[in-house]
Every structure is written in C-alpha cells, then in structure tokens.
C-alpha cells in the first residue's frame, strides 16, 4: 500500500523547518515533534502527515465505534485527535458549557504522504499511487525558499481575556473543595480558559515561537483547513507498542528560576512536596485502574513513581505505568477504556467529570483531549493536549486553557498561581 524511500539529512533542524513550511500547502497536516528529549518509548524524532486520502469526523455519538470500524477497515497510518468531550460517548455525561472554537470532537485522516525523521534519516512513506512524487518533494523541501512565503495578516496588541476572574476562580475552587470534604471526590482537575476574539494570528510562526520557548517532548502542529492546534505538551497519554501499553501522567508542578541555586531548590522542593506527591499517587491509582480494564491479569506495573523532570518552563512530577494486553485486543477499545486521561479528570473519575462540567465555564473540546496516530499494525501513541493554543481562523477566535489538581490540601491562591505559571509561555507567545 505504501512505498518508503529514505534520505540522509545533513542539517536536521533546517530540514524540519522546511518541512513545516512545505506542509502549509495542504488542507490537513499533523506534525509531531519530540525536541530531542530522551524517551525510552520513543519511535522517532519527528513525523509529518499531510493530505487526506480518506478521513473520519464525528461528534461524540458512537464516535469510538465509528473510529474502530475506520481503523479496522483502513489498516493504515491514521493521524488525528480525540476531544475531551468524547467522555460523553464513554459515560452518560454531557457538555453544556460555551464553545468558542467549534472543533469536531473526533477527526482522523489517512495521509497520502508521511515523512518521518529519526537519527538523521528522513523516511518518505507515500501511498503507492504517489510514489513518483517522493523525489521531487524531497528536492522541494531540501531547497525550500523561505522568502517566498506569503505574509499572513495578524492582529497587533492582542487582548487576552479570562473566562472567569480571580474572585470567581476562588469561589469555584471552594465549591470543589466542598465536594471533596463531603466525600463526593478525592481530586479533580479544575481548568480555566484564556481567549481573544476578533484576532488573527500566524499559526505556523506562533507554533514555532511556542516550541522554541517550551521545547516540549510531545509538541504538535495540527492544521485542519481553518482550525489549528499549536501544542507544547510535556505529557504522554497512552502508547501501544506490540502488546505493551504505556501511560505517563503528570501531576505536580513547580516554576523555573533563572537563578541556578533557586531553580535547584524549587526542583528539590517539588521532589519532597507531600501535597504534589499525593496528587500524583492518586492519579497513578486511577490510571492503573483504567489500564486494568484492557490489561492481562496482574500485568499492570508502576515503572516510575513521581519522578521530577525539568522542562524549559516548569519542573514536573511524572509517573510511568505499563501493562500487557492480549495480541487480539483492539487498539481503539484500549483507548476508550482509559479515556479521558486521569490526569485531566480526577478520582473517582465519573463523579469528577460531572463536577468539572458543573464548575468550569467553557467547553474543553480539544484541550485535555489527545493528538496522535495509529500505525498499520495497530500500535498507537497519543499526547495530552495541554500547554496549547487553539485557533479557529474563520471565527478569529484564539484560546488557551490551563488547570491544576484540586485535593483536600489545595490552597486556592496557590492553585491560581500554578495556573498562571502554566499559562506563561502561551501568553508570552501571543502578546509578543
């Protein structure tokens, strides 16, 4: 079905930049980039998929069943996303909050052209009917003339608004704490939206700025006609590699400092922070429970518990949970049985999602959903859509959202400050 031709690349960073600019001619494009982070479960440095041969788009009704049928029929590479509100297909839930972005709740496409970069080699993986275009595309990308790009009109002095203000944030966190003290939930991820209306941005340049500032291991540039995701995600939701599945939830955040000594103190403080560690352990238990629905008996293992990793903007506490599944287990079923990811919901999961819907002021949509791919063999890898800018060019609406885990030990002031730390890179990029 596909032909692969490989080329040695002398300047990988220049080639990546050219690839992204070259991708702008297509209605559909997904770019996944690891930014050279060590990843024990990584499969490549970066990958680009463009130009849909077939596709599937859906709201939440029967979405996972439709995706399962599509994936089983194509048995090919598929790239796309799952929005958070597919929770309504998994459980008897609803999403009634305002949505300024209007992204479909599920979108996947079978790309005509895939270009994968790994250790200085570019693999061009094209549908057989287009194999005669490989050499000319490689030449076009290698010799890309950046001066020829049409300028994009953008809004100066972008005015970013908050969906709820500080006092209202405090009030809603207190209500969530009330649910926790009554025993309705143990933990929930409470999020807030920042947005701008009547605003035009240059999506590619914005992504490149965000990626430069954040340098995240699960970065994404996604373009579907007039809708864009510009993501600097540090988190893997779920990966399947043969019969092994891997989840790496993040819970626990500390800011960075330009002062080396202070920065190290902040990192060490996070390592020993009882509240942050308790949050992480709660989510690990939730993820273990979710993975056990698909896993072979007694195969769920915590490989790493609450290890602190340092990124450009923040220190993060990350755990790694793995399990084994039967070889005949369907890939989409595995995702459905664990979706949405525990780090963006809470525990118990269904109760937390109901309370989140009640107290948040916006429809999450693609934020806190997942972007990734399926392979022809039925493997997959998906990130968590956080630290991301979403843009609907037709509506001239820009949005980014941030959240934090609320537990019995939560202090509303500190949770609010954590949100501002997480929002820093997106705000900086848009207001630059």
Which 3 state secondary structure label does DSSP give 97? coil
The first and second tokens of residue 405, run together, are 């885990």
Where are the chain's structural domains?
A: 2-138+156-431
pLDDT at position 247 over 90 = yes
Q: Which has the closest alpha carbon to 249: 386, 426, 407, 78?
A: 386
Band of pLDDT at residue 220, cut at 50, 70 and 90: very high
Residues 6+ apart with CB under 8 A from 198: 155, 396
Q: What are the two backbone dihedrals, phi and then psi, of residue 289, each rounded to the nearest 5 degrees?
A: -65, -45
What's the CA gap between 282 and 318, in Å, rounded?
12
Residues 111-138, mean pLDDT to the nearest whole number: 97
Banded pLDDT at 109 (limits 50, 70, 90): very high
* Chain segment 133-164, per-residue pLDDT in tens: 999 999 999 999 887 777 899 999 999 999 99
Place of tokens 């993820």: 287
Q: Residues 247, 321: contact at Cβ < 8 Å?
A: yes
- Quote the pTM value: 0.96
Is 61 a residue whose pLDDT tops 90? yes
Query: Which H helix or E strand runs over 398?
Result: strand 397-406
Is it true that the peptide bond before 340 is cis, omega within 30 degrees of 0?
Answer: yes
Distances (CA, A) of 431 to 57, 340, 419: 33, 31, 18
| The pLDDT value given to residue 70 | 98
Best CA proximity match to 312, nearest among 407, 390, 428, 395: 428
Q: Looking at the annotation, which residues are catalytic?
A: 235, 251
In CATH terms, the fold of domain 2-138+156-431 is Anthranilate synthase (3.60.120)
């Amino acid at each position: 079905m596909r032909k692969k031709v490989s080329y040695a690349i002398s300047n990988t960073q220049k080639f990546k930049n050219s690839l992204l600019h070259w991708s702008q001619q297509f209605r559909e494009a997904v770019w996944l980039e690891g930014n050279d982070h060590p990843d024990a479960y990584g499969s490549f440095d970066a990958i680009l998929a463009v130009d849909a041969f077939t596709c599937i788009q859906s709201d939440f009704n029967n979405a996972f069943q439709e995706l399962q049928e599509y994936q089983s029929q194509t048995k090919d590479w598929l790239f796309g996303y799952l929005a958070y509100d597919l929770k309504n297909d998994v459980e008897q839930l609803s999403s009634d909050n305002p949505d300024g972005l209007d992204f479909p709740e599920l979108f996947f496409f079978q790309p005509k052209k895939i270009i994968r970069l790994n250790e200085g080699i570019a693999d061009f993986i094209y549908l057989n009917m287009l194999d005669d275009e490989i050499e000319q595309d490689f030449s076009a990308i290698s010799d890309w003339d950046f001066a020829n790009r049409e300028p994009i009109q953008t809004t100066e002095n972008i005015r970013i608004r908050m969906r709820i203000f500080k006092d209202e944030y405090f009030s809603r966190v207190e209500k969530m704490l009330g649910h926790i003290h009554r025993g309705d939930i143990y933990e929930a991820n409470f999020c807030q939206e920042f947005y701008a209306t009547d605003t035009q941005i240059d999506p590619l340049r914005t992504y490149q700025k965000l990626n430069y500032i954040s340098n995240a291991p699960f970065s994404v540039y996604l373009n579907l006609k007039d809708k864009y995701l510009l993501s600097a995600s540090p988190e893997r939701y779920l990966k399947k590699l043969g019969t092994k599945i891997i989840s790496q939830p993040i819970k626990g955040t500390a800011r960075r400092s330009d002062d080396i000594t202070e920065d190290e103190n902040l990192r060490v403080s996070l390592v020993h922070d009882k509240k942050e560690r308790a949050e992480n352990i709660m989510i690990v238990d939730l993820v273990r429970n979710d993975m056990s629905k698909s896993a072979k008996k007694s195969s769920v293992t915590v490989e790493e518990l609450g290890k602190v990793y340092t990124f450009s903007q923040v220190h993060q506490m990350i755990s790694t949970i793995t399990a084994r599944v039967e070889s005949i287990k369907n890939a989409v079923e595995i995702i459905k049985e664990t979706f949405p990811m525990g780090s963006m919901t809470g525990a118990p999961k269904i109760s937390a999602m109901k309370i989140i819907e009640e107290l948040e002021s916006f429809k999450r949509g693609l934020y806190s959903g997942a972007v990734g791919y399926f392979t022809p063999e039925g493997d997959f890898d998906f990130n968590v859509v956080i630290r991301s800018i979403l843009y609907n060019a037709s509506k001239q609406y820009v949005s980014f959202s941030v959240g934090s885990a609320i537990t019995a030990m939560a202090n509303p002031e500190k949770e609010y400050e954590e949100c501002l730390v997480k929002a820093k890179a997106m705000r900086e990029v848009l207001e630059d």
